[in-house]
Chain A
Amino acid sequence: MQKSPIKYVFLLPAVLWVLAFTIFPLIYSLRISFYNIRLGRNVSAIWVGLHNFARVFTDSRVQESVVVTLVLLVTTVTAQLVLGIALAVLFNRHLPGRSLLRTLMTTPLFATPVAVGLLFLTIYYEEGGFINSILPWKIPWISHPQWALVGVGLVEIWQWTPFCFLVFLAALQSLPDELYEAARLDTSSGWRVFRSLTLPMLQPVVILVLLLRLTEGLKVFDIPWGLTGGGPGTATQTYSMFTYRAGFRHFDFGYSSALGYVMLIAEMIVITFFFKRMRQVYE
């Protein structure tokens, strides 16, 4: 079986496909990032060296979008992990109708993110939206810069907490019961069992979920696009949105490519940081 050449017939089409449609665009994009490209009747390209990269680090609009992205990333991922663990512990008990509740808990997970953003518009809408209609005062969810950011963050938390919850619950259910029985002989404090048994046992999974959420969270695009369109002004414009707009609204292709590359490097830093741990989890 080892010698059979059929293994290449099996593997190569997939490898070549992914290579062709990722590596080639990536090289192309790197090349573009050194040019100032204008789309007109004819495409004109002028070599500008590292100028586009220099712009990335000096542009105040970039700095704003980085702040928006990082604030969203840190707050929403923290909330998702904490809520996810808490809910998993909660659901890891005997509950009436647990499997139905668990199923309902997972409905946000595959909901089209941009549609979720739109849907929350009817919940946040300042005149007649659900939240403001039951509150005695009005929250400017859409029109106030900070509230809009809170609004986007809450939707992110709503959509992705179920992911953390599901994974943690699966991990909890795979822990052996005997351990818990032994622990209960030692202490009657549920918190201590959680701190010194559950949490350490969950640690590899927590790191995995953290990694997956961080790398996804850096890309955040769909939900703010649907909910606020980046507004008011640029208060909720994420780095991905800014990169997209540089390319497809201002047709500044070189700049957009440079922005994309800086993001790719940021993603790679996150991954290298977790790489060893991730490999352990996957082996």
Chain B
Amino acid sequence: MTTGRNATLTAVGTSAVTRRVVRQWRQVGIVLLAFLATAVAGFPVYWALSMSLRRPADTFTVTGLGVPFLQYRPTLENWRTELSVAETYHALLNSTGIAVATTVLALLLGVPAAYALARFRFHLIKNKDIVTWFLSQRVLPPVVTVLPFYLIMRTLHLLDTQAALIIANTTFNLPFAVVILRQTFLDLPLELEEAALVDGATPFSTFWHVARPLAQPAIMAAGLIILAFTWNEFLFALTIGRLDAITLPVRIAGTAYSVRGVQFWYVSTQALLAIIPPTVLALLAQRYVVRGLTLGAVKG
């Protein structure tokens, strides 16, 4: 009798322990999987960094993961070489200028339009349809418009100018700004604006002094995302900005293969030079990235 009861107790005890052990191991497995996924996501950038810090002679002699300091002595030589080339500076300057100008222009046009669609009612065409039209611009394949755009810019003598690329990029990013910032304005409490209007403020000063400051964080985030999108734009830059208006992505795409094959140290340095700025900008806007990339449909 007593032995029987003891046996049952032990059995219950072991199964509880087993369950706990299983749960712990599962947790370990989950953590490992998460680390593995993160490692895969982060590896290429690490690899490029490791490559860009090697002397050309170390490129192929260092094996495996290529950990700097442990496996080879890192050097900034490739970065120094790359950054001392006038063409790189020129491309960096173009990319920056085009991205900044596009962002300013897209926000200048986009913020008021977004506000108008959030707060006023339009009768000729319904607000909903205007928003859908802006949304549909995002799916327009760029190869359809690149050719006529090229010919138009050719007629206007704007080929290979920063202006042409600023116009093109503003056109791509303006719908984005309108759609996501409209959602932002819709989410703001109406009472403050109503109070301002009752106090005799004009609709413009209500927008400028009440609604816009409240939307400022979202506007900044939209600006950062537009900066990154414009920096990354390739097709139009490739077509329109060949020499004077060459952007960084176009410059690096043209230099990968040399007569001696792919020069890993240059390719990785240049790729990083292109990748780092937009990635950092996106990190700054992290809270808004999900909302931005789903055009306001999902709030992160």
- B143 CB-CB contact with A under 8 Å: yes
Q: Once the chains bind, are A17 and B171 in contact (CB under 8 Å)? A: yes
Give the residue of B59, B64, B132, B283 whose beta carbon is less than 8 angstroms from that of A279.
B132
Contact A263-B144, Cβ < 8 Å, known A91-B34, A110-B279, A111-B278: yes
Q: Which of A52-60, A72-80, A145-153, A215-223 sits within the interface?
A: A215-223
Complex interface: chain B residues within 8 A of A130 (CB): 47
Chain A 24-40 near chain B by CB (<8 Å), digits 1 or 0: 11101100100000000
Q: Is the interface of B mostly helix, strand, loop or mixed?
A: helix
The reply to whether A2 and B143 form a contact with Cβ atoms under 8 Å apart is no
- A14 on the interface (CB 8 Å rule)? yes
Which residue in B48, B115, B149, B286 is a CB contact (below 8 Å) of A10? Answer: B115
Kindly state whether residue B175 has any CB partner on chain A within 8 Å. yes
Q: Which residues of B contact A271 (CB under 8 A)?
A: 136, 139
Say which one of B4-12, B75-83, B86-94, B262-270 lies at the interface with A. Answer: B262-270
Annotate B153-186 by CB proximity to A: 1 below 8 A, 0 otherwise. Answer: 0000000000000011011001100100000000
Is A128 interfacial (CB 8 A cutoff)?
A: yes
Q: Are B38 and A104 in contact (CB under 8 A)?
A: yes
| B217, CB-defined interface residue at 8 Å | no
Q: Which residues of B contact A98 (CB under 8 A)?
A: 34
What is the distance, in angstroms, from B296's C-beta to the closest C-beta of chain A? 7
B147 in contact with A90 (CB, 8 Å): no
Residues from chain B with a CB closer than 8 A to the CB of A128 are 59-60, 264
How many interface residues does chain B have, given as a range? 35 or more
> Contact partner of A14 among B41, B143, B146, B178, CB < 8 A?
B178
> Is A114 within 8 A of B294, CB to CB?
no
Which residue of chain A has its CB nearest to the CB of B117?
Answer: A11
Q: Per a CB cutoff under 8 Å, which of B31, B63, B141 touches A133? A: B63
Residues on the B chain within 8 Å of A118, using CB:
252-253, 256, 267, 270-271
Does A170 count as interface, using CB distance less than 8 angstroms?
Answer: yes
Across the interface, which residues of A come within 8 angstroms of B145, CB to CB?
22, 25-26, 29, 260
Q: Find out whether the CB atom of B203 lies under 8 angstroms from the CB atom of A1.
A: yes
> In the bound complex, do residue B37 and residue A105 qualify as a contact, i.e. CB atoms below 8 Å apart?
yes
> Top 3 A-B pairs ranked by shortest CB distance?
A14-B113, A10-B116, A25-B148
Chain A 86-106, CB within 8 Å of chain B: the 1/0 string?
010011010110100101111
Q: Which residue of A lies closest to B105 (CB)?
A: A17
Chain A residue at minimum C-beta to C-beta distance from B120: A7
Give chain A's interface residues, CB within 8 Å of chain B: 1-2, 4, 6-11, 13-15, 17-18, 21-22, 24-26, 28-29, 32, 87, 90-91, 93, 95-96, 98, 101, 103-116, 118-123, 125, 127-128, 130, 133-134, 158, 161-163, 166-167, 170-171, 174, 205, 208-209, 212, 215, 218-219, 221-222, 225-226, 240, 243-244, 247-248, 253, 256-257, 259-261, 263-264, 267, 271, 279, 281-283
Q: Which residues of A contact B110 (CB under 8 A)?
A: 14
Cβ-based interface call for B192 (8 A): no
Structural contact, B109 and A13, CB atoms closer than 8 A: yes
Which B residues lie at the A interface, using CB under 8 A?
A: 30-31, 33-35, 37-38, 40-42, 44-45, 47-48, 51, 59-60, 63-64, 109-110, 112-113, 115-117, 119-122, 128, 130-132, 134-152, 167-168, 170-171, 174-175, 178, 197, 202-204, 207, 228, 231-232, 234-235, 239, 248-249, 252-253, 256, 262, 264, 267-268, 270-272, 274-275, 278-279, 281-283, 286, 289-290, 293-300
User: Which residue of chain B is the closest to A122 with respect to CB atoms?
Assistant: B264
Q: For residue A221, give the distance in angstroms from its CB to the closest CB of chain B.
A: 6
The number of A-B residue pairs with CB atoms under 8 Å apart is 279
Q: Is there contact, CB below 8 Å, between B278 and A22?
A: no
Known: A166-B289, A166-B290. 6 other contacts (CB 8 A): A6-B203, A7-B120, A90-B37, A112-B248, A112-B274, A125-B262
How far does the alpha carbon of A126 sit from the alpha carbon of B192 in the complex, in Å?
63
Q: List 24 A-B contacts (CB under 8 A).
A: A6-B203, A11-B116, A11-B122, A17-B171, A21-B149, A22-B140, A29-B148, A93-B30, A110-B228, A111-B279, A112-B231, A112-B274, A112-B275, A120-B44, A122-B268, A128-B59, A128-B60, A215-B138, A219-B141, A219-B142, A247-B150, A263-B141, A264-B140, A282-B135
Q: Which residues of B contact A257 (CB under 8 A)?
A: 147-148
